[in-house]
Amino acid sequence: MKKLLLSSLLLASTAMTSAHAADYQIDYQGAHASINFKVKHLGYSWLTGRFNKFDGQFSYDEKNIEASQITVNIDTASVDSNHAERDKHLRDTDFLDVSKFANAKFVSKKVMDMGDGKLKIIGDITLQGITKELIIDAEKIGEGDDPWGGYRAGFAGTTSIAMKDFGYKMDFGEIIFDLHIEGIRK
């Protein structure tokens, strides 16, 4: 009986120590993820847009949310405001300067469980060669099996940056980001 109990405890402790966060690839190719933005245009209206090309991955374990991590790489030349001439200007030196800074990157440093599916993600964003801390208010949308035999998890979040913090030649104030991330478990 002692051997059976000892074996059961050993098996349970092995299972508990080998459990870890699941790794996910962000599903940007299937258009199940998006990085959208808006900024006031001259103080009169909102200019909206998105980045069409980005990739990344995240680790997530509902039982240990604080161990979660996310990395996102953004192709800044993929900026799309639904207006070709404006997009050309956004890619130029007044704004994204894509010839010099082709990529932006976010790397999380800390994920906090705020309860009821709400998360606070703290990390570093590098844009225009400048790195600043960024806080994303996020929420888990859901997770589960997909129709193609995979497993997915999805999150949404919002954050903002001040244009002046990243050295933009033209400064319209704050850029507000609306983020939707769906990942496929690896």
Q: What is the tens place of the pLDDT at every residue in 121-132?
A: 999 999 999 999
Q: Which CATH number does the domain housing residue 93 bear?
A: 2.40.128.110
**At residue 95, does pLDDT exceed 80?**
yes
* Any domain includes 96: yes
Q: State what percent of residues in the chain have pLDDT above 90.
A: 82
* Any domain includes 2: no
* Any domain includes 169: yes
* Any domain includes 157: yes
Instruction: Specify the pLDDT at position 43.
Output: 84
Note the pLDDT tens digit of each residue in 9-55.
333 433 333 346 899 999 988 889 999 999 998 889 999 999 999 99
Q: What is d(CA 174, CA 134) in angstroms, rounded to the nearest whole number?
A: 13
Q: Which domain holds residue 134?
A: 20-185
User: For the chain, what is the domain count?
Assistant: 1
CA angle 179, 158, 26 (to 5 degrees): 25
* Whole-Å CA distances, 95 to 54, 116, 121, 172: 18, 38, 26, 11
**At residue 172, does pLDDT exceed 70?**
yes
pTM: 0.86
* Any domain includes 15: no
Count CB neighbours of 131 within 10 A. Answer: 13
* Residue 171 pLDDT class (50, 70, 90 cuts): confident
Q: What is d(CA 185, CA 40) in angstroms, rounded to the nearest whole number?
A: 37
* Any domain includes 80: yes
